[in-house]
Structure 1
Amino acid sequence: MSSQVSRRAFLKSSVATGLAFSSGLAMPGLSRASSRPVITHGLQSGDVDAGSGMIWARADRPAKMLVEFDTTGTFEAPTRLAPINALPETDFAAKRLLESLPSDQEIFYRVAFADLNDVNAVSEPMTGRFRTAPGSRRSVRFAWSGDTAGQGWGIDKAHGGMKTYTTMAKHTPDFFIHSGDTIYADGPIRESVELKDGSVWKNIVTEEKSKVAETLAEFRGQWKYNLMDENLLAFNAEVPTFFQWDDHEVMNNWSPSKDLSGDDRYTEKNVALLAARSARAFHELAPIRYTPAEPGRIYRKIAYGPLLDVFFLDLRSYRGPNGPSMETEMTDASRILGAQQLAWLKRELASSRATWKVIACDMPIGLIVWDNWKEQAGAEAVANGDHGAPKGRELEFADLLRFIKSADIDNVVWLTADVHYTAAHYYNPDKAQFQDFKPFWEFVSGPIHAGTFGPNDLDMTFGPEVKYVKAPTKEQGVNLPPSLGLQFFGLVDIDGATEQLTVRLMDREDAELHKITLDPVRRG
Structure 2
Amino acid sequence: MEVSSDSVLVWTRVCGQEVPNPVRHERRAEVFRHPIDFDENMPVSQMDGGVQGAEGLVRVSLRNGDETHTSEWVQALGENDFTVRLPFKGLKPATTYEVELLTKADENAPAGRALGSFVTAPAPDQEVPVLFTTSTCQYFWSFDEDVRGFHSYDSMASMRPDFFIQTGDYVYYDKPGPLAKNIEQARHKWHAMDAWPSLKDLFKDVPVFLMKDDHDLLKDDSNPASTPYGDRTFADGISLWYQNVPLEDKPYRSIRWGKDLQIWMMEGREFRSPNNAPDGPDKTIWGSEQLAWLKQSLESSDASFKILVSATPIVGPDRDSKVDNHANKAYEQEGEMLRSYLSGVPNLFVVNGDRHWQYVSKDLETGLMEFCSGPISDWHAQGWDADDVRPEHEFLRLKGGFLSVEVKRESSKPQITFTHRDVMGRAVHEERINWKALG
Bin of the TM-score, shorter chain as denominator length: 0.7 to 0.9
- Which residue, 349, 365, 381 being the options, matches 2:314? 365
Q: What percent identity do the matched residue pairs reach?
A: 25
- Residue in structure 1 matched with residue 404 of structure 2 by the alignment: 491
Q: Could you give the per-residue CA deviations for residues 72-125 of structure 1, whole angstroms, max 9, x where no partner exists?
A: 5xxx7633222222222211111112221111111111111233xx41213311
Q: In the TM superposition, what are the counterparts of 1:374-393 in structure 2 within 5 Å?
A: 377=321, 379-385=323-329, 392-393=330-331
- Residue in structure 1 matched with residue 392 of structure 2 by the alignment: 465
Q: Could you give the per-residue CA deviations for residues 261-315 of structure 1, whole angstroms, max 9, x where no partner exists?
A: xxxxx543xxxx522222222211222x211xxxxx3111122222111111112
Distance 1:217 1:354 in 2: 44
Distance 2:113 2:215 in 1: 33
1:444 aligns with 2:372: yes
Instruction: Specify the SS of the correspondent of 2:159.
Output: coil
Q: Shift of residue 383 of structure 1?
A: 2.6
Distance 2:291 2:67 in 1: 45
- Residue in structure 2 matched with residue 29 of structure 1 by the alignment: none
Distance 2:207 2:241 in 1: 16
Judged with a 3 Å threshold, the aligned counterparts in structure 2 of structure 1 residues 132 and 340 are, in CA distance, closer, same or farther, namely same
- Residue in structure 1 matched with residue 281 of structure 2 by the alignment: 330
Judged with a 3 Å threshold, the aligned counterparts in structure 2 of structure 1 residues 394 and 176 are, in CA distance, closer, same or farther, namely same
TM-score (norm 2): 0.83
- Residue in structure 2 matched with residue 30 of structure 1 by the alignment: none
Residue identity in the other structure for 2:351 = L
- Residue in structure 1 matched with residue 111 of structure 2 by the alignment: 123
Distance 2:75 2:256 in 1: 29
Judged with a 3 Å threshold, the aligned counterparts in structure 2 of structure 1 residues 523 and 122 are, in CA distance, closer, same or farther, namely farther
Judged with a 3 Å threshold, the aligned counterparts in structure 2 of structure 1 residues 424 and 377 are, in CA distance, closer, same or farther, namely closer
Q: Which residues of structure 2 form unaligned runs of 5+?
A: 16-53
Aligned partners of 1:427 and 1:464 also within 8 Å: no
Q: Which residues of structure 1 form unaligned runs of 5+?
A: 1-44, 190-210, 261-265, 292-296, 371-375, 386-391, 430-436, 458-462, 472-485
- Which residue, 311, 321, 341 being the options, matches 2:274? 321
Distance 2:233 2:227 in 1: 12
- Residue in structure 2 matched with residue 394 of structure 1 by the alignment: 332
- Residue in structure 2 matched with residue 281 of structure 1 by the alignment: 240
Pairs aligned (count): 395
Instruction: Specify the SS of the correspondent of 1:182.
Output: coil
- Residue in structure 2 matched with residue 179 of structure 1 by the alignment: 167
Aligned partners of 1:366 and 1:464 also within 8 Å: no
TM-score (norm 1): 0.70
Aligned partners of 1:369 and 1:379 also within 8 Å: no
Q: In the TM superposition, what are the counterparts of 1:119-518 in structure 2 within 5 Å?
A: 119-135=107-123, 136-149=126-139, 152-154=141-143, 156-157=145-146, 161-189=149-177, 211-249=178-216, 250-256=218-224, 258=226, 267-268=230-231, 274-287=233-246, 289-291=247-249, 297-323=250-276, 327=279, 329-331=280-282, 334-367=283-316, 369=318, 377=321, 379-385=323-329, 392-404=330-342, 409-429=345-365, 437=366, 439-449=367-377, 451-455=380-384, 465-471=392-398, 486-496=399-409, 497-518=412-433
Aligned partners of 2:11 and 2:245 also within 8 Å: yes
Instruction: Specify the SS of the correspondent of 2:161.
Output: coil
Distance 2:418 2:306 in 1: 14
Distance 2:164 2:254 in 1: 15
Distance 2:75 2:274 in 1: 39
Instruction: Specify the SS of the correspondent of 2:117.
Output: strand
Distance 1:304 1:188 in 2: 39
Instruction: Specify the SS of the correspondent of 2:215.
Output: coil
Q: Shift of residue 258 of structure 1?
A: 4.1
1:94 aligns with 2:84: yes
RMSD: 2.6
Residue identity in the other structure for 2:374 = G
Distance 1:283 1:87 in 2: 15
- Which residue, 61, 64, 67 being the options, matches 1:68? 61
Distance 1:230 1:315 in 2: 29
Distance 2:111 2:237 in 1: 29
Instruction: Specify the SS of the correspondent of 1:220.
Output: helix
Instruction: Specify the SS of the correspondent of 1:398.
Output: helix
Q: Could you give the per-residue CA deviations for residues 418-441 of structure 1, whole angstroms, max 9, x where no partner exists?
A: 111111111242xxxxxxx5x321
Residue identity in the other structure for 1:415 = V
Q: Could you give the per-residue CA deviations for residues 446-466 of structure 1, whole angstroms, max 9, x where no partner exists?
A: 211451113279xxxxx9710
Aligned partners of 1:255 and 1:322 also within 8 Å: yes
Distance 2:198 2:361 in 1: 30
1:104 aligns with 2:94: yes
Distance 2:93 2:360 in 1: 33
Instruction: Specify the SS of the correspondent of 1:56.
Output: strand
Judged with a 3 Å threshold, the aligned counterparts in structure 2 of structure 1 residues 102 and 451 are, in CA distance, closer, same or farther, namely same
Q: Shift of residue 404 of structure 1?
A: 4.3
Distance 1:141 1:251 in 2: 33
Judged with a 3 Å threshold, the aligned counterparts in structure 2 of structure 1 residues 403 and 382 are, in CA distance, closer, same or farther, namely closer
Distance 1:121 1:494 in 2: 47
Judged with a 3 Å threshold, the aligned counterparts in structure 2 of structure 1 residues 123 and 149 are, in CA distance, closer, same or farther, namely farther
Instruction: Specify the SS of the correspondent of 1:282.
Output: helix
Instruction: Specify the SS of the correspondent of 1:500.
Output: strand
Aligned partners of 1:63 and 1:113 also within 8 Å: yes
Instruction: Specify the SS of the correspondent of 1:348.
Output: helix
Aligned partners of 1:66 and 1:114 also within 8 Å: no
Distance 1:186 1:487 in 2: 21
Instruction: Specify the SS of the correspondent of 2:371.
Output: strand
Distance 1:415 1:225 in 2: 27
- Residue in structure 2 matched with residue 519 of structure 1 by the alignment: 434
Q: Could you give the per-residue CA deviations for residues 139-158 of structure 1, whole angstroms, max 9, x where no partner exists?
A: 000001101226x4257426
Distance 1:518 1:81 in 2: 43
